Amino acid sequence: MFTGIVESKGVIESIERNGKGAHVVIRTDSAFLKDRVRLGDSIATNGVCLTATALREDAYEADLSFESVNLTCFGFYSPGTEVNLELACTTHTRLGGHIMQGHVDGVGTVLENYRVDDAINIWIQAPQNLKHYIAMKGSIAVDGISLTVNEVRDCDFRLTLIPHTQQEVATSFRPGSKVNLEVDVLARYLERLLQANSSSSNNQSNSQVTLESLQKNGFF
């Protein structure tokens, strides 16, 4: 698991397609890797959980499956692309962001960004099938960054980056750019539980989370 608190930035040194997947080399600060990463460890790379298959002083290598290449922004990346990095949690990790799995749910598109004093507001369009997971003041991971949703309009949602976040992350949030989205895992499991409950009671499996369904199932 991860928390969405970016620990370091990296740069894609190379990315090579091999069959339906790909092999990637990520170059980063040696201090991020030294005495902290071993072969087989998980590293969130722009929000995608990758397994380190080879290590050197200033880089790690990883393999991407067909699904990872096609359902995340790695299908758009090229050498020189900057990425956000985070090591997997330990029992001593502070949960400064929110619980994340490194399993990207879809690719979003940055619609606009604009400055308000020292902060930057970002509008992102999510895929249609993710919109019901995104709630105002809820959490969402964007390129591996744990962020709070401040406004929602159908599939579009607004985030605010404080100055510290602007300095620490690699994502540029340029209009038109693509970003990896991971919705709150609690929302995903909650929907699944409600679907199972609805299916057992009236033989339907297409339920969605609504205020009425939450109240009916005793969540408030």
Q: What does the pLDDT average to over 171-181? A: 96
- The Cα–Cα gap between 43 and 86 comes to 6
Chain centroid, CA 8 distance in Å: 15
Last residue of a domain, one of 17, 52, 87: 87
Average pLDDT over residues 141-157: 97
Q: Confirm whether 101 is domain-assigned.
A: no
Give me the domain span that covers residue 82.
Answer: 8-87
Domain-located, residue 100: no
Integer-rounded Cα Rg, in Å, for the chain is 18
**Which of 60, 87, 114 is the C-terminal boundary of a domain?**
87
pLDDT of residue 20: 86
Co-location of 14 and 83 in the same domain = yes
- 80 and 113 fall within a common domain: no
Q: Which of 177, 186, 204 is nearest to 98 (CA)?
A: 186
Both 42 and 69 in a single domain? Answer: yes
Residues 120, 175, single domain; the answer is yes
| Better-predicted residue by pLDDT, 92 or 156 | 156
Residue 208 burial by Cβ neighbours in a 10 Å radius (0-12, 13-18, 19+): exposed
Tell me whether residue 202 is in a domain.
no
Which amino acid type is present at position 5? Answer: I
Q: What are the beta bridge partners of residue 83?
A: 10
The residue among 156 and 90 whose pLDDT is bigger is 156
**Could you tell me if 106 and 182 are in contact, meaning their C-beta atoms sit under 8 angstroms apart?**
no
Report the CATH number at residue 147: 2.40.30.20
- pLDDT-based confidence at residue 195 (cuts at 50, 70, 90): confident
What is residue 205's predicted lDDT score, i.e. its pLDDT? 47
The residue to which tokens 């879809």 are assigned:
106
Residue 208 lies in a domain: no
- pLDDT score recorded for residue 199: 66
Q: What mean pLDDT is predicted for residues 183-188?
A: 88
- pLDDT band for position 93 (cuts 50, 70, 90): confident
What 3-state DSSP class applies to 25? Answer: strand
| Domain presence at residue 215 | no
Clarify whether residues 181 and 130 are in a common domain.
yes
Query: pLDDT-based confidence at 201, cuts 50/70/90?
Result: low
pTM of this structure: 0.87
Q: Let me know: does 88 contact 42? Beta carbons within 8 Å.
A: yes
* Residue 203 pLDDT greater than 60, yes or no: no
Residue 217 lies in a domain: no
31 is a domain residue: yes
Residues 116 and 162 in one domain: yes
Residue 199 lies in a domain: no
> How far apart are the C-alpha atoms of 41 and 60, rounded to whole Å?
10
- pLDDT tier at 170 (50, 70, 90 boundaries)? very high
Average pLDDT, the chain: 91
Pair 178, 108: CB distance under 8 Å: yes
- Kindly state whether residues 137 and 167 are assigned to the same domain: yes
Number of domains in the chain: 2
